[in-house]
Amino acid sequence: MITRNEYHVPVLLEESIEGLAIKPDGIYLDCTLGGGGHYRRLAEMLDKDGIVIGIDKDPEALKWVCDHPPYVKSQMLLEQSKFSEFDKVLKKHSIKKIDGLIIDLGLSSRQVDNPRRGFSYKADTPLDMRMDPQSNMTAEKIITESSEEELSGILKDYGEIRNPQRMASAIARFSGKERIATSGDLRKCIENEYGTPVKYKVLSKLFQALRIAVNNELEELRTCLHKAVEYLNKGGRLVVIAYHSLDDRIVKNFMRDYERKCVCQPYEPICKCNRPAVLKRINRKAIRASVNEIGRNQRARSALLRICEKVV
């Protein structure tokens, strides 16, 4: 028998759905459909006038959810899209405003566990790492087509790797002699430079950096958050689950900035901008998964949930 959790076990499910403060006849957007865990629960909370739209870059996620639909009264829509372009999806369905939006960042277990997708350094797989298999950037291309300086920037900004210059230069030297096409090749290159066994943390930061670059993840997130402010109704909620500090920092700063009223320069004695607070944070500290949930699902260990409400 197929169980829904075969694709992905949803993280912080109850907390994030509660965070959306759902109105049964509202319109909700799940920006990261994955195996549809959050999407399904959302759909169950709505009545026949409610609408839930699920989007994902990865067509496999859409197919999975299409093949395993929940039996609910609400209207359910599915579209393949980047979440930075969710406005185009709303326009297609003549939807002008929404009551809530959820972003559950990162990868689904299905993506990580599929060796052909190349996300894991634990197996020797092609260096692909595309969430959208139709996009033309792969991790192999980043490695072979970036200059040493560009690679060093990627390792520093997206992997927070100490001495990124050393790693970039080792990769450039190695790829000048041998092709780096698989995670095994890349591991060999790193072992040549740092010795064996290479630390798990080094490889995980390197793979994180490449994955973020391939999928333009940080820019995607920034764009989506800013559009969320524009499209949410007053009282609408934004719920974000991040799994690493780079994503969480963007979310935290974004929510804090929109909660501030005045954006005048500190040297201006009187406020001229008259900007009202746009968002109100529902939780100041990120919500983490319970020990129970982590016991059931290791992936929940690093999850950080932030919730805010549009107040104008």
Ligand X SMILES: C[S@@+](CC[C@H](N)C(=O)[O-])C[C@H]1O[C@@H](n2cnc3c(N)ncnc32)[C@H](O)[C@@H]1O
User: Which residues contribute to the site for ligand X (CB under 6 A)?
Assistant: 8, 10, 32, 34-38, 55-58, 61, 82-83, 104, 106-108, 131, 220
Cα pseudo-dihedral 40, 287, 32, 82, rounded to 10: 150
Is the CB of 78 or the CB of 198 nearer to ligand X? 78
- Listing DSSP states for 83-131 in one string gives GGGHHHHHHHTT---EEEEEEE-S--HHHHH-GGG---TTS--BS---S
Distance CA 68, CA 125 (A): 29
- Identify the three-state secondary structure at position 71: coil
The smaller minimum CB distance to ligand X, of residues 202 and 218, is found at 218
CB of 154 to ligand X, least distance (A): 18
Return the number of the residue (32 or 208) whose C-beta is nearest ligand X.
32
The least distance separating ligand X from the CB of residue 139, rounded to whole angstroms, comes to 16
Q: Which residues pair with 126 in a beta bridge?
A: 182
**b/e map 48-85, b = 16+ CB within 10 Å:** eebbbbbbbbbebbbebbeeeebebebebbbbbbbbbb
The first and second tokens of residue 235, run together, are: 């009282």
Nearer to ligand X, 165 or 302 (CB): 302
- For ligand X, give the closer residue by CB, 38 or 252: 38
Determine the Cα angle at 13 with ends 12 and 15, to 5°.
65
Residue of 29, 26, 21, 75 whose CA lies nearest to 54: 29
Nearer to ligand X, 198 or 210 (CB): 210
Q: Closest distance between ligand X and the C-beta of residue 70, in Å?
A: 13
Angstrom distance (rounded) from CA 46 to CA 22: 8
Residue (82 or 187) nearer to ligand X, CB: 82
Closest C-alpha to 47, from 80, 19, 70, 23: 23
Phi and psi for 105 in degrees, rounded to 5?
-70, 170
Q: Which two tokens stand for residue 184?
A: 């095994």
Nearest to 105 by CA among 236, 203, 12: 12
Give the nearest distance from C-beta 80 to ligand X in angstroms.
Answer: 8
Q: Measured from the CB of residue 112, what is the shortest distance to ligand X in angstroms?
A: 9
Q: Which is nearer to ligand X, 127 or 241 (CB)?
A: 241
Separation CA 116–CA 111 (nearest Å): 9
In the complex, least distance from residue 104 CB atom to ligand X, rounded to whole angstroms:
4
Minimum Å distance from CB 172 to ligand X? 29
In the complex, minimum distance from the CB of residue 153 to ligand X, in angstroms, rounded to a whole number: 21
